[in-house]
Amino acid sequence: MAAALLAAVSLGEIATSAPAASQTVNRVPLRQSVMGSVWGNTQLSFEERCAVLQRIGFMGLDLPRADQVPILRDYGLAPALMTGTGTRFQDGLIRRELHDMFEDAFTRE
């Protein structure tokens, strides 16, 4: 009986400490980036894609080419990932058979 009473009190404390449905919850905007491959075969230019990403609230783009980074910055976007080797995702580190090719680029100072 005492255990049931303690459980009821504990559950009551949990329920009263949870925010009520009518209370305002402060939400933080998502800070997401997106892979360039999500565009498929679109005819939009890179700059037009950046404008769309900025408008819908994305923060960056994954794996842009080095020459695309200034355009990203013009739209308030950031490169979320960079290959460091000048490759694309498809011919980058996901390909084990190409790892030897990248060693110099990764160890160069």
Higher pLDDT, 4 or 95: 95
Indicate if the alpha-carbon torsion angle 92, 98, 99, 103 is positive or negative.
negative
Query: How many angstroms separate the Cα of 79 from the Cα of each of 15, 66, 86?
Result: 43, 9, 14
Residue 6's pLDDT band (boundaries 50, 70, 90)?
very low
d(CA 76, CA 88): 23
- For 55-108, how does the pLDDT look when each residue is reduced to its tens digit (9 = 90+)? 999 999 988 888 899 999 999 999 987 766 666 667 777 778 878 877 777 776
Q: What percent of the chain has pLDDT over 70?
A: 67
Considering the entire predicted model, what is its pTM? 0.56
pLDDT band at 17 (very low <50, low <70, confident <90, very high): low
What confidence tier does 7 reach under pLDDT thresholds 50, 70, 90? very low
Q: What is the mean pLDDT of the chain?
A: 76
